[in-house]
């Protein structure tokens, strides 16, 4: 990892951190932030740990909306964005809402290195452990649910090689940004729903994904009315390909800083070449939230910190949510020229801003009882270099029992399907027998053999819907039943990759 011209070995956290100071706020370790330097000066042995982040002094929050009322909970980064409208409505009152009990104590003591020492003997979160003891144990002094009695949450490190062995999902979509170029492009990787369902416990409810610069994005499992969240499970509505040469940066190159004459959308993807304006973007599997590792068929460029201490690049992994409310590529918010075909619309779906780049960590929440967040070093720059990602929290690290349960569930799905869903009535029993054979391979620990049989003997008999029609070798002729079976098969596929690794 290269930063400001020097090689460094620790994770640098840049996550948005908001401290009250003349109604201004700055990102963690960005220009104007004094608090990260104060913490590192007071606790140099905690640099690069989970405490070297905004969460030490800040917390998330919740709001209620809709009829009937529904509560939405956000992490600290998105909570700050929500209550301040990205700084446009920042006030002393709402910025104070972002501070936890430790952050309030630090601010009240003077917001200096000396202040940190002055409150070290306090128990800011009231959990029975002093701030100094919590920091020594790598637990949050401002979070009563995190204390030195906890053990690290279950975790699993997954490599790019393992992800490439999992079922692939490819999708063309609009990445609509607020302040930078929009683009129509194609990403490929693993549907995040498939990966999460393969490892999660029944108690799991949502996830937060992290980049090594500290950027964190919360994602609920299911569709929410909140425009600032994108769901993990289920498909997104089809998009539309919008083209206008005035927006095309190939015809009108961007001319910063005010962009008065330049374009704002990149149409250079080969997947965009034969599309016409207003073409519907169709995907047989639907648009899904994606853990991507390729764009346009090429591996994502690994992220690095530039001389301004900001993240460049997007790989090895990027979480890519499609638009919940599909629209056209609108002009940059920073452009002085809004007299264009698609001027900036603050209410448009700017999904690119919620598409975390260089993701190294996926936290499945809530954390199991008695566990604490893992050390953020496990989600830092070494994993970028090693092309790995950490998934942790409410997950099953053993998976064999879950795998057998899933195979039994697949048998039940086949058995429950109507006979009319099969080309030949006897195919139903034959398909069940093939799944039973896979179970025998699992019992023997022959996971690679089990995966080969799953793909050859089961998936190929049920996967016609992926191409939009029943294949000649399909045993199942009902595309709806096929879709249900393939969804379960892909989750089992992921489990077999992970237990065999």
DSSP sequence for 238-270: PEEE---TTTBTTTS---TTT-SS---EE---G
Domains of the chain, by residue range, sit at 2-149, 157-393, 400-499
Residue 37 neighbours by CB under 8 Å, 6+ apart: none
State the DSSP H helix or E strand holding residue 318, giving kind and residue range, or none if neither.
Answer: strand 318-320
What confidence tens digit (pLDDT) does each residue in 164-186 have?
A: 999 999 999 999 999 999 999 99
What confidence tens digit (pLDDT) does each residue in 296-309 have?
A: 999 999 998 776 65
Q: ∠ CA(467), CA(469), CA(470), 5° rounding? A: 115
For residue 85, pLDDT over 90 is answered with no
Mean pLDDT of 255-265: 89
Cβ atoms of residues 199 and 232 within 8 Å: no
Give the residue among 234, 222, 235 at the shortest CA–CA distance from 173: 235
Cβ atoms of residues 178 and 329 within 8 Å: no
What confidence tens digit (pLDDT) does each residue in 435-466 have?
A: 999 999 999 999 999 999 999 999 999 999 88
- Residue-level pLDDT at 376: 56
CA quadruple 155, 292, 219, 468: dihedral sign: negative
> Any bridge partners for residue 476, and if so which?
422
Residue 67 neighbours by CB under 8 Å, 6+ apart: none
Q: Which of 16-20, 177-181, 348-352 has the lowest mean pLDDT?
A: 16-20
């Amino acid at each position: 990892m290269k930063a400001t011209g020097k090689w460094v070995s620790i994770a640098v956290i840049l996550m948005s951190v908001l401290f009250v100071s003349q109604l201004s706020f700055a990102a963690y370790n960005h220009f104007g932030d004094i608090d990260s330097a104060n913490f590192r000066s007071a606790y140099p042995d905690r640099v690069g740990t989970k405490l070297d982040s905004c969460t030490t002094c800040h917390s998330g929050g919740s709001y209620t909306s809709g009829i009937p009322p529904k509560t939405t909970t956000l992490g600290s980064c998105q909570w700050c964005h929500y209550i301040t409208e990205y700084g446009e409505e920042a006030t002393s009152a709402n910025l104070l809402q972002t501070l936890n009990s430790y952050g309030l104590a630090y601010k009240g003591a003077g917001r200096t290195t000396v202040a940190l020492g002055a409150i070290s003997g306090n128990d800011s979160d009231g959990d029975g452990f002093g701030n100094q003891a919590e920091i020594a144990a790598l637990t949050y002094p401002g979070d009563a649910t995190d204390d030195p009695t906890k053990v690290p949450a279950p975790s699993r490190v997954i490599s790019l090689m393992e992800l490439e062995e999992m079922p692939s999902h490819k999708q063309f979509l609009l990445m609509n940004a607020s302040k930078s170029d929009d683009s129509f492009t194609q990403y490929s990787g693993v549907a995040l729903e498939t990966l999460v369902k393969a490892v999660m416990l029944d108690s799991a409810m949502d996830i937060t994904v992290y980049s090594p610069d500290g950027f964190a994005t919360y994602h609920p499992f299911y569709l929410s009315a909140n425009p600032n969240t994108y769901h993990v499970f289920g498909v997104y509505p089809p998009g539309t390909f919008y083209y206008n040469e005035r927006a095309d940066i190939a015809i009108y190159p961007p001319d910063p800083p005010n962009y008065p004459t330049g374009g704002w959308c990149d149409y250079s993807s080969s997947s965009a070449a034969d599309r016409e304006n207003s073409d519907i973007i169709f995907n047989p599997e639907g648009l899904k939230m994606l853990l991507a590792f390729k764009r346009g068929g090429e591996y994502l460029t690994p992220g690095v910190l530039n001389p301004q201490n900001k993240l460049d690049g997007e790989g090895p992994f990027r979480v890519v949510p499609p638009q919940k409310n599909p629209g056209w590529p609108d002009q940059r918010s920073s452009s002085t020229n809004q007299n264009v075909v698609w001027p900036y619309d603050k209410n448009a779906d700017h999904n690119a801003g919620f598409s975390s780049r260089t993701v190294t960590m996926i936290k499945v929440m809530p954390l199991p009882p008695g566990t604490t967040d893992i050390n953020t070093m496990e989600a830092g720059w070494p994993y970028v270099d090693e092309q790995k990602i950490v998934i942790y929290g409410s997950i099953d690290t053993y998976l064999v029992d879950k795998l057998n349960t899933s195979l039994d569930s697949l048998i039940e799905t086949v058995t429950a399907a109507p006979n009319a869903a099969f080309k030949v009535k006897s195919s139903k029993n034959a398909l069940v027998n093939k799944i039973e054979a896979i179970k025998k391979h699992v019992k023997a620990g022959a996971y690679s053999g089990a995966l080969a049989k799953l793909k050859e003997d089961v998936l190929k008999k049920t996967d016609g819907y992926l191409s939009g029609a029943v294949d000649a070798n399909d045993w199942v002729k009902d595309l709806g039943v096929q879709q249900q079976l393939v969804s379960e098969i892909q989750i089992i596929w992921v489990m077999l990759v992970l237990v065999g690794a």
